[in-house]
């Protein structure tokens, strides 16, 4: 269960195969899949399987090696799909648009709008 609510997060449902997703990479600790509402030509989510951490600050404090692994997977997927260049976003807090409180990295690549954060 995540640290914000006692309900299973949507990403835990994907990890457990309760709901489908286009999974592009997976190991024991991490899953990566395409965002259901892409905001860039390539828009992947890299997600620790544990629901213990609601955001990147909690993950960095609780398991820095897992955070490093998330970044390594982001690079690996970008190497495969976007020529190795990408934008890495961790939304932290409702005010900036975080909607899923199970830590995840947005990996965005392709032609992004210059000057935007990729979400416009």
Q: Under the rule (CB under 6 A), what is the footprint of ligand 5GP?
A: 10, 21, 33-37, 45, 91, 97-100
Min CB(78)–ligand 5GP separation in Å:
17
Q: CB nearer to ligand 5GP: give 19 or 61.
A: 19
Contacts 24+ apart (CB under 8 A), 18-26: 24/77, 25/73, 25/76, 25/77
Min CB(9)–ligand 5GP separation in Å:
10
Give me the catalytic one of 43, 102, 104, 106: 104
Buried b (16+ CB within 10 A) or exposed e, 65-99: ebbebbeebbeebbeebbeeebbbbbbbeeeeeee
Neighbours of 2 (CB within 10 A): 20
- Catalytic residue status for 104: yes
Min CB(3)–ligand 5GP separation in Å:
15
Active site residues: 104
């Amino acid at each position: 269960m995540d640290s914000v609510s006692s309900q299973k997060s949507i990403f835990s449902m994907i990890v457990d195969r309760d709901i489908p997703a286009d999974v592009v990479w997976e190991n024991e600790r991490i899953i990566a899949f395409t965002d259901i509402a892409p905001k860039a030509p390539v828009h992947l989510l890299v997600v620790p399987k544990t629901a213990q951490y609601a955001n990147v600050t909690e993950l960095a404090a609780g398991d820095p090696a897992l955070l490093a692994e998330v970044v390594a997977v982001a690079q690996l997927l970008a190497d495969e799909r976007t020529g190795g260049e990408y934008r890495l976003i961790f939304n932290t807090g409702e005010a900036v648009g975080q909607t899923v409180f199970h830590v995840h990295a947005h990996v965005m690549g392709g032609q992004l709008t210059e000057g935007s954060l990729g979400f416009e």
